[in-house]
A and B are shown apart, each in its own frame.
Chain A
Amino acid sequence: MMGEDGILLEAEIRKKLRDFQLEVSFAAGRGCLGLLGPSGCGKSMTLKSIAGILAPDEGRIALNGGRQVLFDSRQRISLSPQKRRAGYLFQNYALFPNMTVRENIMSGLGAASGHRRASQRKERAEEMMERFRLKGLGDRYPGQLSGGQQQRVALARILAYEPQTLLLDEPFSAMDAYLREELRLELAGVLKDYAGASVLVTHDRDEAYQLCSHLVLMKEGRVLAKGKTRELFQNPGTWEAARLTGCKNISPVRRLGPFRVKALAWGGLELETDQPVGEEVCAVGIRAHDFCPLSEGEAEAWEGRPGANRIPVGKPSISEMPFEWHITLENGIWWKKEKDIHTHDAAGVIPPWLRVDPSAILLLKGEAEPTRQAFL
């Protein structure tokens, strides 16, 4: 898991938490590494351990191909957060409310970052304010800024001292939806220019896909899967990983043949696959966009052909979104169909049949057999 420049950050963390044992290990090169998982899965703990805010029970955290050790339980090394030079972006930005924007940005500058004199610090702060479009706001207090401006101040404050790692903890969760898209693009730009290791913690799969070149999928303190973002989304491997990457339809299956399964959650629907079904496959996944509608005539034409995978729609329940229909088939399958904002009538939209191409069926393994309960 590394770019051309080799490993910039490697982490191996074990820590006993109240509900579970946190046990993760990963390595990151250039390009942002995402920790994707549901809330409370230990991803923030992992990030805090790298920054030195929390101490793992055991493990090792090192930078620059292992040349610079931040934490090593065997060698009894644990640098204070002050010495790790991590740039940590907090969920709510953690700007000091008693300091002005300028003072906030200057608060991380000092002899360690090569800004010994007050005039140097001031100059650097002005430079950062210019870069983050904060000119003229230097004397304001954080309480007087919008959410987007606050995030830019927090980023300016971190990047001012050229941190060795960039650690981003759910940077958009405290933000209004309409600001999110724009700021994501902005952050993508910052991440592209940044030369050190960067780690982004998120539970939002779009955010992870857009910003991270590599992903670590986490659940209850464990790593479910790791790899290149696009490959993980295309082939998540396990049903837990499939769910984290946003696969809406997952069903436990019984193997009927080398290319044939019976989906137990969808009324015993039989499906053909284009990959051989191994013994270890316990579930299949189909993304909600991967269905195509069939009219009665087309459905008849498909009947009996190999790889038809016809699915009866039955009596669906339909819910309207601005640009999509969310349709739940009678057998429980989710289908998302695009629409335009002027259409409100679903009458002509719902076909009698759907089909799914065998190549769109994700064959999934898993430690535990997925129960119906797990998907509700």
Chain B
Amino acid sequence: MDWSPIWISMKTAGLSILITFFLGLFAAWRVVCIRNERWKALWDGILTLPLVLPPTVAGFFLLYIFGVKRPLGRFFVEYFGVKIAFSWGAAVIAAVVMSFPLMYRSARGALEQVDPDLADAARTLGMSEWRIFCRVLLPNGRSGIASGGILAFARGLGEFGATAMIAGNIAGKTRTLPMAVYSEVAAGNMDRAFQYVEIMAIIALGSILLMNYGTFRADKGRRQR
């Protein structure tokens, strides 16, 4: 059995959740800070878009942006000598873009649920907005933020459509577990597909249990004090 899809999947999901987590959290904070309701709705719409688009359509857009003949893609090739499309980096980009809305929306909900009086009190106490974010909003919204992270990780791990569009299905390079399952089934190797499915299910369940345990501990700790 080829073990590379497992390694590639873990690598991709791991790096992409790292990026998505902080990017989504930061975006959520900035959107929460917008006072104008119209701007808020507009930004929210843009940042949520990948969630409502079919993954292949999102992948198509990514290909359109990062394709070698497109301005951005060409820029990367000419200045850094990096081809983005159909590389492992493309798989990470696809996972980040597709999992971002889940992180962003959960984090935004978590931040908005923190009693607005707390932030106002912090302001009258002279705390800077950044300090309020770190010392008041984050600690009091952490369980919601953590569950956003779980969702985003699961979404990144299972990413298929956009990855297929921009990263392709290159064995040993961009073939993640979901891709491998698809390829084996397409080739009629049901037994091998089944092995990948088993591994996928174990990894998914294991990581979710791990993170759930983490948030459960965090919640319990808070209630006890």
List A residues at the B interface (Cβ < 8 Å): 48, 51-53, 80-88, 90-92, 94, 96-99, 107-108, 110, 112-113, 141, 143-144, 157, 161
Contacts and interface: CB of A to CB of B under 8 A. Distances in A.
10 contacts: A48-B120, A53-B120, A81-B124, A82-B123, A82-B126, A82-B127, A83-B126, A91-B117, A92-B117, A110-B126
A80 B140 CA distance: 24
Contacts, number: 66
A80 to B, nearest CB: 7
Interface of B: 115, 117-118, 120-128, 135-136, 139-140, 222, 225
Contact of A98 (B117, B124, B127, B140): B140
Nearest to B125: A108
Contacts of A96: 118, 121-122, 135-136, 140
Given A96-B136, A97-B140, A141-B225, A90 B117 contact: yes
The 9 A-B pairs with the shortest beta carbon distances in the complex, nearest first, are A108-B125, A94-B121, A98-B139, A81-B123, A94-B117, A88-B124, A141-B225, A53-B120, A82-B126
A130 B193 CA distance: 69
A107 to B, nearest CB: 6
Contacts of B123: 52-53, 80-82
B223 to A, nearest CB: 8
A112 B115 contact: no
A107 B118 CA distance: 12
Contact of A94 (B115, B126, B127, B225): B115
A86 B128 CA distance: 15
A86 B127 contact: no
A94 B117 CA distance: 6
Contacts of B222: 97-98
Contacts of A90: 117, 120-121
A143 B122 CA distance: 18
Contacts of B225: 141, 143-144
Contact of B124 (A87, A110, A112): A87
